[in-house]
Amino acid sequence: MPGTPVTGPADGEGPGAPLSVVPMTRRALPARTTELTLAFEVPRGNPDWPTVSVLFDGKPAFERVAPEWAGFDPDEILGRASPLLPVHPWRRVAVYRCSCGIEGCGVIAPLIAAPYEMVTWSDFRDYTGVFVGPTHDPDPDGGREWNVHDARFSGIQYRAEVARASADRSWETPRRATARLVKPLVEDLVLQVGLTSVERVQVWPAHKAEGVEVTLRHRDSPDADPRWETLHITEPTDDPERGAFAIASALRAVAPTDWPHAFGRRAPSQ
């Protein structure tokens, strides 16, 4: 693909390097812009677990190099704080993951940057045992390079597409809507009952069962390793608002010390 060389000062970085995306290399960005499209797919036949696919100019972006791989869940990759939105000066973002659905097995992770009025994806790399979610802090080094051309997008079109996809909840099933509504209720309840060890709450539809799974990540002290407590609450979720209220009420009716006994305890599903 033709490109325009990136120019900069003799020592590589500094005020004269306006389009430098990868600090230690002289990359050539594509001369033409690519149109980004984000679409929703159900790769495993379960509508509760869709993924966000990436298209360049209307064609699957990574089908040639990773035909069975898929994007991340919409709630992980989209939203007001979407990892797809560039930050200064850049960050590496996993946009696809292994076909097994676990990013620790492998990812397609470009550097996303926003030089001038553009957004660029460059230096696509694969990592094993590194990512847990679309981002990693700090940005990882090394990795295996994918044979994927760098992409250059109009900043206006790119940001508009991320905003459009983020606002589209057409993929959300009643079970996913219930889980979304339950999460803030559980977060409030955790504060009310004084569970100060809880640093994160996750809520997902239960796999192959009714209701939801509420996973609490505890950290008992700043130096302690996190521990997970997963609760399975089998309230109906066909009506999201009523289901969320019933699930929160079921938790509220039981002392937190009795939650593992009342709602079961299993290894976290996420």
* Full pLDDT tens readout for the chain, 270 residues: 333 333 333 333 333 333 344 443 446 677 799 999 999 999 878 899 999 999 999 999 999 999 999 999 999 999 999 999 999 999 999 999 999 999 999 999 999 999 889 999 999 999 999 999 999 999 999 999 999 999 999 999 999 999 999 999 999 999 999 999 999 999 999 999 999 999 999 999 998 788 999 999 999 888 889 999 999 998 877 899 999 999 999 999 999 999 999 997 544 444
pLDDT of residue 18: 36
pLDDT at 27: 60
Quote the pTM value. Answer: 0.80
Domain ranges of the chain: 3-167, 174-263
Apex 82 CA angle, 77 and 88, nearest 5: 130
CB of 61 within 8 A of CB of 37? no
Phi and psi at 3, nearest 5°, equal: -150, 165
Q: Which DSSP state fits 208?
A: T
User: Angle at the Cα of 107 (from 37 to 169), degrees rounded to 5?
Assistant: 40
Phi-psi region of 44 (alpha: psi -120 to 50; beta: other; left: phi over 0): alpha
- List phi, psi (to 5°) of 227: -130, 150
Nearest CA among 212, 207, 246, 256 for reference residue 232: 212
Determine if the peptide bond prior to 138 is cis (ω within 30°).
Answer: yes
What confidence score (pLDDT) does residue 3 get?
A: 36
Q: What is the DSSP letter of 198?
A: E
Count of positions (residues) in the chain:
270
pLDDT reported for residue 17: 34
pLDDT value at residue 168: 97
